[in-house]
Amino acid sequence: MAPERSRASLLNLRINGEHREVVDNLSLRELVTQLDLTPERIAIELNQNVVRRTEWPSTVLKEGDQVEIVHFVGGGSRQEQEADGRNN
């Protein structure tokens, strides 16, 4: 019989609306690394509060936290947008 995996060291979170299990004592910075994200291209909201990038290493996730990760997408220059018909 295989040993049962200990669930005491895992946290249940919601990341962008999806249930995820992560290891206990994980910082936002470590989460970004685990998810293989580019830190300079994202913003993170934790429980409806934006967390500054400088605070990611010291912000430790807790059971039930809700994390929203927003990816920044470049839109090109205004001239490129007009040429492509993407006027606003």
Q: Does the residue 24 lie in any domain?
A: yes
Q: Please list, in sequence order, all residues whose beta carbon lies within 8 angstroms of the beta carbon of residue 60, skipping any fewer than 6 positions away.
A: 25, 26, 27
Structural domain containing residue 18: 10-83
Q: What is the pLDDT of residues 38-47, one digit of tens each?
A: 999 999 999 9
Residue 18 maps to which CATH number? Answer: 3.10.20.30
Q: What is the pLDDT of residues 16-57, one digit of tens each?
A: 999 999 999 999 999 999 999 999 999 999 999 999 999 999
Q: Total structural domains in the chain? A: 1
Q: Does the residue 2 lie in any domain?
A: no
Q: Does the residue 74 lie in any domain?
A: yes
Q: Does the residue 88 lie in any domain?
A: no
Q: Does the residue 52 lie in any domain?
A: yes
pLDDT number for residue 81 = 53
